[in-house]
Amino acid sequence: MRNLAIDAERLWGELMETAAIGGTQKGGICRLTLTDLDREVRDWFKAKAEALGCRVTVDDMGTMFARRPGTADVPPIAFGSHLDTQPTGGKFDGALGVLAALEALCTLHEAGYETYAPIEVVNWTNEEGSRFAPAMVGSGVFARVFTRDEAHAKQDRSGVTFGAALDAIGYRGAEPCGAHPLSAFFELHIEQGPILEAQQRDIGVVTGVQAMRWYEVTITGQDAHTGATPMNLRKNALLGAARVIERVDGIGRAAAPFGVGTVGLIENKPNSRNVVPGEVFLCADLRHPDDDMLDTMERRFEIAVADACDGLGLGVTMQKIWHQPALRFDPDCVASVRAAAELSGYSTRDMVSGAGHDAAYVSRVAPASMIFVPCRGGISHNEVEFTSKEQCAKGAQVLLQAVLDYDRKLAERGRATKNG
């Protein structure tokens, strides 16, 4: 087990190869979920996994499972992440987790190493939540947080439903999402923040994920002529939105050092140079490691929206569309990650994830944990996102060894049960 080592060059080559599927001028990736580009990278993943002798299955949310058999008839130890990206995503967010798992499985295959449990690489559908909100909807249905039907009915901003988009790329599988027991799940991901790089640590041992909530707000005023309408007669929805955006930033700052508040999506109608805007749609994102503190932020947000709109005679509707509580990962899985990093001789630090990940939902139905590697300047959800070949390789090596460590524990438990 000790001398099993992933192939850093092969992993890097596949990261760069798949980054070209939806590659952008600035070196990032635009590969939104359930688009033709998503289909293309899915087809690439399926072909690679089948070439390694894996059986690839797809569930009715489009999530893909590539299974390598083990010696025991137990649920698989899974590892993976997502292949969809943000519109201005980077090369590593999600892709590193799927391709490192594929690389680890390839390493086992080439060594003819027999694991106790089956090993399964997973590509979760729609982790980003950019085209279809909320985020992590494939793993969310898998964990029964959302129903399959409500997920399929979600519409993108042009009115296309999730279900129709899934059918359009031919990835609506037969397996009911969630009818797929797992012994454990491990996810490798770039940190997407500045801590590991600043502290020059190789590996983040992720012990949990912070709480996060999304709110959709529609502010209504009145379209009017920018030249002929006196200032005191206006109902300017965009002015109301500007005040809300400022207040959301203030709510994040007031919850320092861990609270964050952002408005990242806004649609202004009619968005014409000489029309006072009559309607604005925006989405607010509030997060904090502590649920009670996030409740306080949520109350402040509700007050801020009402204040901003009442003061300008604007109408407003608001709907919370995502509510993900803070969570802690399974101690046994976390211990396997820690043991794997120590075995590999890498420096570590424990951390709680600021970003949401599929492992967060999977942890509701199977023991799970995560591994982080640094990213340059802590920048992610940005085309300049970068993690070095060496850092990717260290993460993949820890992922491989963590799965083998957990597999050994499962085998010991299996033998103990057998011997009664």
Closest approach of Mn ion to the CB of residue 109, in Å: 26
**Region 131-160 residues binding ligand HGY, contact defined as CB under 6 A:** 135
Nearer Cβ to Mn ion (94/221) = 94
Distance CA 152, CA 111 (A): 41
Nearer to Mn ion, 76 or 94 (CB): 94
> Nearest Cα to 122, choosing from 373, 352, 344, 357?
357
Q: How many residues bind ligand HGY (CB under 6 A)?
A: 6
Q: Which of 103, 127, 187, 383 contacts ligand HGY by CB under 6 A?
A: 127
Which of the listed partners (ligand HGY, Mn ion, none) does 129 bind, with a CB threshold of 5 to 8 Å by partner kind? ligand HGY
135 binds, among Mn ion, ligand HGY, none (CB under 5 to 8 A by kind): ligand HGY
Is residue 191 within the footprint of Mn ion (CB under 5 A)? no
Find the binder of ligand HGY among 38, 128, 298, 385 (CB under 6 A): 128
- Our CB check for ligand HGY shows the closer of 127 and 383 to be 127
**Interface residue with Mn ion, options 94, 118, 173, 261 (CB under 5 A):** 94
Residues of span 316-355 touching ligand HGY by CB under 6 A: 355
Binding span for ligand HGY by CB under 6 A among 124-132, 216-224, 384-392, 404-412: 124-132
Among 129, 208, 259, 395, indicate the residue that binds ligand HGY (CB under 6 A). 129
| Among positions 14, 38, 60, 93, the unique one binding Mn ion when judged by CB under 5 A | 93
**Binding-site ranges for ligand HGY (CB under 6 A):** 127-129, 135, 355-356
**Binding-site ranges for Mn ion (CB under 5 A):** 93-94
